[in-house]
Each structure stands twice: as C-alpha cells, then as structure tokens.
Amino acid sequence: MIVVTGGAGFIGSNIVKSLNRRGEEDVIVVDDLTDGSKFSNLADLLIADYLDKDNLADTVTHGHDIARRVRAVIHQGACTDTTEWDGRYMMQENFDYSKKLLHYCVDRHIPFIYASSASVYGAGPGFAEDAANERPLNVYGYSKLLFDQYVRRHFHEADSQIVGLRYFNVYGPREAHKTGMASVAWHFHRQVAQQGEARLFEGSDGYAAGEQQRDFVYVDDVAAVNLYFMDHPGQSGIFNVGTGASQSFNELARAVIDWHGRGEIRYIPFPEGLAGHYQSFTQADISALRNAGYREPFQTVEQGVRAYLDELEGR
C-alpha cells in the first residue's frame, strides 16, 4: 500500500495517475475535499481507499497502526497559496502536520517522500540545496524551509528513507481547481482561448517585459522523480526538482500561442503588492538529483506545453 497525501490535488493526483500506469492500485489518497471540485482529479483513477486529512492525523496522533501494510508515504498535502499571510495557519498545515507524519514513518521504518519548494530560495541568486541560498520571500516559503531544516536535524535518527523534493514551477494537467494559484501556462491558455492574448508583467528587477525567467517543470517529470525515489529506498536527502534550465515567460506565452495558432502578448503593469515578494529568476541546480542516480531528461517548455494542452483539450 502507498499513501499519497494531497492525492486529490495537482501534483498528488498526477502521482496517483503515474502509479496506476504501472499497475499500482493499492493506493490510499489523503486529502481535504472541502473544495469538492477536486473530485474530478480522482474520478478516472483507481485507488484502494480515501481518508480525510484530519482522520489520518488522528490515526497518527492516537497511535492506530496501519504501518504493516504501508510501503511508502508520498506527502504532497500542504497549503500552497503563496499569497496566504496567516502564519499560524500555514505552520499548522505545512509544518506541524508534516512533523507528525515524519515521526510516524521514521518510528515504523516507512519511506517518507515529501514535497518541499523552490520558494525556500527566495530571489536567489543561488539555487543549490545549501543553507546559504535559503532566503524565502513569504511565509509559505518559510514553512517549507522550516520543515526542511527540521528534517536535516533528524536525518541521523532515521534508518529509513527520507526524501524532500524542492519543486520549481510545476505545470500540467489536473491543476484547474487551483484557479488563481494555477500555473501561468494554465492562465495563458485561458487568456488566449478567451481573449486572444496572453498577459505578462512588464519589466521588473532589471528584466525586460516578459523576460523574467523561471525553471518551468512539467508535472509528469515531477511524478517520475517521486516514483524514482520510491523505487530506490536507499536514497535520502533534499533534492531540487526542475529542468535545470530556466526559460522566460515570453517563451512560455509563445508556446501557448503557437499551440492555439493565434494570439498575441500584452504586457501589464507589475503589481505593487508583489514588489519584494516575487522571484524574477529561478533555475534549479539538479546536480544532487543527478548524483542520486536520476538520469531521465526533463521536457522543455515547448514540449511540455504541447503535451499539457493536448491532454487538456483531448487531442
């Protein structure tokens, strides 16, 4: 049995899909379906059971033991809203909950693979897994960093696998429920389809209009990295998950426009509220991931956007 928390969410449901593709159906999905629209991410998947996230927390807290049947916990559940400034809520969701699962897994020798975030690096300029590079710009990034730091302090206690994966800018199918927090690829697609234009920010932090750059990584590649570590329980550590090559928002917008065969780019003023809290450049250093044995190539923006929109529109 494999437990996937956040399994009805964007990355979690894609991990379940990837497990199904290889014949794995003994999967427990853990999530919060207060937003019932997320059911659609599970409707075409095969799972063994569903648990509310609070029920799993109760199971862990009160010592009920399902560990005899669990092969791995892939922990994707979190509050991922980077505009959320309720620090108490963020720590409860992203730090306290994760600690409970970590200790449950370590005590029972269960592999624990969890989602961290490239937001821990803030504005950079360094994007290697090193404390000197870790300067988050918001409380979401800090909640992820704090858990990474906690894991680092407790690595020596564990004789089972602990893997933290620092996702860069993930895009792909099953993210529509995220609406405002969905990827820019999703937003550009809707904008071009409905208004015939993709809206990008004007220049900021010394970058020309639309030339801010991110490491955009396709969700299938992210799922593949998770499954790689599940298949290699001897590997532990904190690893970046990105392509290792940044591309501009202009390139992403052009890939969406090319897919539609129409549309144009329009630049809009940079929001004042994002000043000082915005990553104008990210690029994963994936040396540690490669050194851990992961050799698969990552899709470029042009490849990933085509695969994404083909699936989204049933082509």
CA 96 distance to own-chain centroid: 19
CA 86/CA 67 separation, integer angstroms: 33
Catalytic residue among 50, 100, 178, 267: 178
Catalytic residue among 97, 114, 121, 140: 140
**Alpha-carbon Rg of the chain, whole angstroms?**
19
- Does 53 participate in catalysis according to the annotation? no
CA 293/CA 303 separation, integer angstroms: 24
- Does 140 participate in catalysis according to the annotation? yes
Residues facing residue 29 across a β-bridge: 4, 50
3-state secondary structure the chain: CEEEECCCCHHHHHHHHHHHHCCCCCEEEEECCCCHHHHHHCCCCCCCEEEEHHHHHHHHHCCCCCHHHCCEEEECCCCCCCCCCCHHHHHHHHHHHHHHHHHHHHHCCCCEEEEEEHHHHCCCCCCCCCHHHCCCCCHHHHHHHHHHHHHHHHHHHCCCCEEEEEECEEECCCCHHHHHHCCHHHHHHHHHHHHCEEEEECCECCECCCCCEECEEEHHHHHHHHHHHHHCCCCCEEEEECCCCCEEHHHHHHHHHHHHCCCEEEEECCCHHHCCCCCCECCCCCHHHHHCCCCCCCCCHHHHHHHHHHHHCCC
Catalytic residues: 140, 178
